[in-house]
Structure 1
Amino acid sequence: MLRASHDPHSAGLPPRPPGALPALACVLALCWTGQAAALQCSSDNGYTCTTTTAQYAGGFAPNVGYGGFGGGDCTASRTPVVFLHGNGDLAASLDMPPGAVDGYATPPRSVYEELKAAGYNDCELFGVTYLSDVERQYPQYNYHEPYTYDIVKTFIDRVKAYTGKSQVDVVAHSLGSSMALAAIRYYGYQASIRRFVNIGGGIRGLQTCLYTGYQSPYAQTCNAEAYVWPYDYYTFGLYPSSGVPYYGYNRWTGSGSGSLRTLPASWTGIRFYTITAGLYDQVHCFTTNAGNCASGALFNARSNVIAQVGVGFGDSAYAFDWDWADGSPYNAGGGDTSGGVGHFRSLANTGVIVRNMLTTTCTTGCTSGYAGTYGPAGNL
């Protein structure tokens, strides 16, 4: 079973693949601080960017993680945005080109480009790749642990120091959402966050993990809370909590106080938003009626949970295989594969919505400019 560790090599279940690098080690090729003018997703696989070169500029040298972007010949006047990518992904995917959606116009800009068009400059947009090359190649072995939280917190500290701002806005996709929330809680860091945009995060766990079981040597991403001595509450996977200690118990994905879905109740100074593909999300769902998968990315309703928007469209998710034998972080089907919007396009296609969430006080109107033009969307 998973156990507490500050070293990926020694974490409880079978260790991550040989060659996995310590999470805080700075890979030289990815820590280069050359003068890239802006983030560019120069290559992609249809779902995520595959651009690995660090794109830092203007003297911004965070020296943490495995690459990223941000900085330039400019001054930050807005609250800076920090992007945290999903499992198997990297920071450049904030610039992933949108995909075509049947019956609708293809959004003309990525999330990054949409924010630039809204007036953000390069000294206000940042992202960090918190997974090493090996960890990105083996997404099934990645889970939440303090070792990685330190990357998230340190990077935000460096952004605050570079911009002179006391807070940042977090835009997080998939594993990045739950990783960021756990890091904020681990460090008591909520005062440093102004707005939090959760895109397809496993806030209530992943229903797809029910097949693998609550402790699996092949899909540690799907494991429940750590229960082997020395026990560490902050080491966990995304198994939906069974509520039964030692048998799939996972306070993070459960419904009790302190779970991911209830954190807004404790952090009243943060404005929370969600964008989700629901049943069309091939990471959350494995059949068209997979229990609670449609609500898997949703926070509990609170006054500071400002808007939670559904953008899913196309085919509902289903599964070809559920054993992770191919190392795939997603199942077959879903909106992304059918001219719709699934797990990955809920990020790539929703720049207009993210812009609204960061730059306005929208509640019911966060889909303005998107709904009906680029796809169906509405509050949940």
Structure 2
Amino acid sequence: MVKFITRLWFSIILFQVSVEPLTMDFRIWLHRNGYSDDDFEAKNFGNNGSFGGKGYFNYIVRRRPVIFIHGNSDGALSDGSIYGTGWNSHLKGFLNNGYTAAELYGITWGDRNPNNAFEKTFNCEFVNKIRRFILAVLKYTRYNSVNIVSHSMGVTLTRKAIQGGIINGIDGSCDIGEYLKGKVNTFVAISGANYGLCFCNSDFFLSQPGCNKKNGFWPGDNYHSTLCSDITKNGYHPTKYSQFLQDLNDANKPEGKFITTVFSTEDELIGNKNKVFNRYTSSLPLAGNQYISNSWNHTETKDNSSFLVCKEIMNNDLKINHKKIIKNIF
């Protein structure tokens, strides 16, 4: 079913965010279960580096846990910067709908420094940290599956954490492990770059680690690079692009039982109306629902979609039948 919505009005009372760095109960559990060296708490970011956990040992987790994975230069919670708003808006929405800190989890996987944005690749360190956090939350909450909300670079890192397998990068190789089949109910991908970024074909950016051809955002085919940003032509897709991204897209391994993408054609970081060789780079091969804004920027697409994401996850947790929909949102 295809449904187009040109403008969406909503009214919602938001509770103040009442979350904190990982709770004492969760920290004790992590220490006792072999996660001490993972630094999920991220103390170097003060109170903004993480969130989640039960208030006490025998607290009952009543809803399927939701894990939030941020994008490049962002973090778990807002640090007040333009691209560092964290997941505050989403937490408000979930808390307003009956969730507690025992069901909402987030970490900071990067350095939160925008000056280092193009130094970051899809490397073993980042993917392993995200994967281990997913496994930790599954074990800690004793749920057989979780929901995951990801943004920007966090989308592709999390996809690999779920799909498992080999990473062969310019900065090292590793085997992430087996496919986490059935461990994710709803996977939400906000403003990802799953087919690369057109500006990575320029000489300057192609020389940066973040745009490399093995585990970066390289969109492919330098010979036809002018076609990458041409949104008037259809039908040409490069046979080779970033090996990391190509492996993800060709794997035929669903990231969740339900897969939803949210993105904007006015995303200033992705650019080019979100198109890479005339296909939406924020789309996913196996996605069910797709929500497209024609006005939000990169950060707004994350922060303003909180109501939509919460509704999608809550509906999917109760859903038996699922119909594919495509919506244009304000």
TM-score (norm 1): 0.60
Q: 2:124 aligns with which of 131, 142, 146?
A: 146
1:222 alignment counterpart: 211
Q: Secondary structure at the match of 1:88?
A: coil
- Does 2:67 align with 1:90? no
Range with greater deviation from structure 2 (121-130 or 137-146): 137-146
Q: CA deviation at 1:266?
A: 2.5
Q: Secondary structure at the match of 2:301?
A: helix
- Distance across 1 between alignment mates of 2:107 and 2:206: 29
Higher helix share goes to which structure? 2
Query: In the TM superposition, what are the counterparts of 1:232-251 in structure 2 within 5 Å?
Result: 236-242=215-221, 249-251=241-243
2:201 alignment counterpart: 210
1:69 alignment counterpart: 51
Identity %: 21
Q: Secondary structure at the match of 1:177?
A: helix
CA contact (8 A) 2:69 2:106 kept: yes
CA contact (8 A) 1:84 1:177 kept: yes
Q: CA deviation at 1:130?
A: 0.6
1:282 alignment counterpart: 268
CA contact (8 A) 2:51 2:105 kept: yes
Q: Secondary structure at the match of 1:60?
A: helix
The amino acid across from 2:196 in the alignment is G
CA 1:309 to 1:363, structure 2 compared with 1: closer, same or farther past 3 Å?
A: farther
Higher strand share goes to which structure? 2
- Distance across 2 between alignment mates of 1:212 and 1:189: 37
The amino acid across from 2:95 in the alignment is K
- Distance across 2 between alignment mates of 1:290 and 1:224: 19
Q: CA deviation at 1:38?
A: 3.0
2:280 alignment counterpart: 295
Aligned length: 257
- Distance across 2 between alignment mates of 1:288 and 1:112: 29
Query: In the TM superposition, what are the counterparts of 1:88-237 in structure 2 within 5 Å?
Result: 88-93=73-78, 110-132=89-111, 137-186=115-164, 187=177, 188-212=179-203, 215-216=206-207, 219-225=208-214, 236-237=215-216
- Distance across 2 between alignment mates of 1:213 and 1:248: 20
- Distance across 1 between alignment mates of 2:210 and 2:324: 34
- Does 2:244 align with 1:252? yes
CA contact (8 A) 2:66 2:103 kept: yes
1:318 alignment counterpart: none
The amino acid across from 1:132 in the alignment is D
1:56 alignment counterpart: 22
Q: Which ranges of structure 1 fall in alignment gaps of 5 or more residues?
A: 1-36, 40-53, 98-108, 226-235, 314-340, 368-375
Q: CA deviation at 1:143?
A: 0.7
- Distance across 2 between alignment mates of 1:111 and 1:94: 15
Q: Secondary structure at the match of 1:345?
A: helix
CA 1:137 to 1:123, structure 2 compared with 1: closer, same or farther past 3 Å?
A: farther
CA contact (8 A) 1:178 1:203 kept: yes
Q: Which ranges of structure 2 fall in alignment gaps of 5 or more residues?
A: 1-16, 31-35, 43-48, 83-87, 165-176, 224-238, 317-321
- Distance across 2 between alignment mates of 1:269 and 1:290: 24
1:346 alignment counterpart: 301
Q: CA deviation at 1:349?
A: 0.6
CA 1:212 to 1:191, structure 2 compared with 1: closer, same or farther past 3 Å?
A: farther
Q: CA deviation at 1:168?
A: 1.2
- Distance across 2 between alignment mates of 1:364 and 1:202: 21
Q: CA deviation at 1:210?
A: 2.1
Q: Secondary structure at the match of 2:217?
A: coil
- Distance across 2 between alignment mates of 1:268 and 1:176: 13
The amino acid across from 2:267 in the alignment is D
CA 1:202 to 1:165, structure 2 compared with 1: closer, same or farther past 3 Å?
A: same
